[in-house]
């Protein structure tokens, strides 16, 4: 670039504001960019600082609010551009051996944007399936751990730890068993709630840190309306089994069938939850 076609340092500084706001025409913009790259490093740093100050000056922003319909016009223009680009790719579909299709099917053309959203839907569906599988696998593993823990302890030991009432619930074949799994990965705690037909219930748990003053709460959340029903408050027993007998929980069978059981701390954080 010769001196006749390059800008001086003074011109670079004077046009820095116009360049920052993109107000230079095509020729001036190209000349400014080329001159900037040929300027000394110290001059480039000065121009960058100057343009940064100009771009961050909110007093230079217009006070007018954009037209509310501007968003719709922009989206419409983008959609139109996508359709135009998609139509240019149409001849690619004719390459190769033609496939015999029904008359109605042959008239359907899937645009590039449609292909994108279709692919995105498949990815999203796959992600949801993987998440559901991992969650169900974790739920089954936690249920197996709870079952093994109960199998590896004698009735006498369990009675000594949580009271003789637990055997009534374990031997009652009509009692409903609800398994609660931890919400945090790696948490070894678990809990089971046994509910008998007469409305009495027994909470059996392990792994909740030892506490006092009823630090944990057992509650039921109705899925239909999100209503939370407090069932009982209790303390954690640490690494040993803990048990709480509840004479009557005051919930109907219909509510229990369509509800989620949870154990929370005093702050309301859900520690264990049922399916």
Question: Is it the case that residue 228 has pLDDT exceeding 80?
Answer: yes
With a cut of 80, say whether residue 36 has pLDDT above it.
yes
Find the mean pLDDT for residues 52-72.
72
Q: How far apart are the first and last CA of the chain?
A: 72
Most confident of 101-105, 114-118, 177-181, 244-248: 177-181
Under the banding of pLDDT at 50, 70 and 90, the label for residue 7 is confident
pLDDT of residue 107: 46
pLDDT at 38 over 70: yes
For the segment 120-141, the average pLDDT, to the nearest whole number, is 57
The answer to which of 25-39, 120-134, 206-220, 232-246 has the lowest mean pLDDT is: 120-134
Residue closest to 262 by CA, chosen among 224, 225, 209, 216 = 216
Confidence of residue 216 (pLDDT cuts 50, 70, 90): very high
pLDDT of residue 186: 85
19-23, 34-38, 73-77, 200-204: the lowest-pLDDT one:
73-77
Mean pLDDT for 50-71 is 73
pLDDT in tens, 159-207: 666 667 777 887 888 888 888 999 998 888 989 988 888 888 899 898 8
pLDDT band of residue 64 (cuts 50, 70, 90) is low
165 is written with which tokens? 């009432």
**How much of the chain, in percent, has pLDDT values that exceed 70?**
64
Task: Give the chain's mean pLDDT.
Answer: 75
Whether the pLDDT of residue 1 is over 50: the answer is no
Bigger pLDDT: 271 vs 82: 271
Q: Write the secondary structure of the chain as one string of H (helix), E (strand) and C (coil).
A: CCCCCCCCHHHHHHCHHHHHCCCCCHHHHHHHHHHHHHCCHHHHHHHHHHHHHHHCCHHHCCCCCCCCCHHHHHHHHHHHHHHHHHHHCHHHHHCCCCCCCCHHHHCCCCCHHHHHHHHHHHHHHHHHHHHHHHHHHHHHHHHHHHHHHHHCCCHHHHHHHHCCHHHHHHHCCCCEEEEEEECCCCCCCEEEEEECCCCCEEEEEECCCCCCCCCEEEEEEECCCCCEEEEEEECCCCCCCEEEEECCCCCCHHHHHCEEEEEEECCCCEEEECC
- Predicted pLDDT of residue 265: 93
Lowest mean pLDDT among 12-21, 85-94, 220-229: 85-94
4 has pLDDT over 90: no
Indicate the pTM of the whole model: 0.44
Examine the pLDDT at 268 and tell me if it is beyond 60.
yes
């Amino acid at each position: 670039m010769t001196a006749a076609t390059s800008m001086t340092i003074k011109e670079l500084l004077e046009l820095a504001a116009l360049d920052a706001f993109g107000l230079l025409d095509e020729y001036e913009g190209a000349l400014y960019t080329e001159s900037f790259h040929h300027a000394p490093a110290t001059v480039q740093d000065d121009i960058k600082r100057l343009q940064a100050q100009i771009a961050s000056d909110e007093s230079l922003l217009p006070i007018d609010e954009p037209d509310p319909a501007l968003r719709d016009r922009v989206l419409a223009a983008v959609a139109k551009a996508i359709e135009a680009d998609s139509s240019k790719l149409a001849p690619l579909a004719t390459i190769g051996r033609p496939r015999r299709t029904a008359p109605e099917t042959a008239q359907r053309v899937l645009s590039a944007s449609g292909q994108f959203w279709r692919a995105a839907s498949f990815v999203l569906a796959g992600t949801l399936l993987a998440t559901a599988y991992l969650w169900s696998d974790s739920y089954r593993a936690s249920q197996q751990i709870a079952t093994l823990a109960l199998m590896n302890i004698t009735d006498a030991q369990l009675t000594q730890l949580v009271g003789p009432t637990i055997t009534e619930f374990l031997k009652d074949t009509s009692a409903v068993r609800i398994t609660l799994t931890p919400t945090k990965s790696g948490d070894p705690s678990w809990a089971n709630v046994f509910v008998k037909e007469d409305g009495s219930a027994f909470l059996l748990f392990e792994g909740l840190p030892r506490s006092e003053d009823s630090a944990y709460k057992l509650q039921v959340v109705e899925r239909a309306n999100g209503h939370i029903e407090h069932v009982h408050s209790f303390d954690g027993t640490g690494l040993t089994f803990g048990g709480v007998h509840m004479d009557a929980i005051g919930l109907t069978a219909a509510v229990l069938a369509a509800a989620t059981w949870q154990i929370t701390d005093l702050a309301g954080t859900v520690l264990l939850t049922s399916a």
